[in-house]
Amino acid sequence: MRIKELRTQRHITQLKMAMDLNMSQNTISRYENGEREPGIAELIRIADYFHVSIDYLVGRERSDTAP
């Protein structure tokens, strides 16, 4: 999962991301540490937030511009 990578590249804190997505900061931390997996609805919200595909978000594509 590329959540932390995307978040840090864009200089977004866990707290800001959590507030923007109406999630808890603890949930974002758990996603980033692999302690919890987001459901499909959360994957869609996170992918939309970063303007990437779900495949890119979960590591199935190398580039966020790939089709």
List domains and CATH numbers for the chain.
3-57 (1.10.260.40)
Low-confidence ranges of the chain (pLDDT < 50): 66-67
Radius of gyration in angstroms for the set of CA atoms belonging to the chain, rounded to a whole number: 11
CB neighbour list of residue 64: distance below 8 Å, 6 or more residues apart: 50, 51, 52, 53, 56
Q: Other CB atoms closer than 10 Å to residue 23's CB: what's the count?
A: 17
Contact indicator for 36, 27 with CB cutoff of 8 Å? yes
pLDDT at 61: 74
> Left (φ > 0), alpha (ψ -120 to 50) or beta: where does 63 sit?
beta
pLDDT at 65: 56
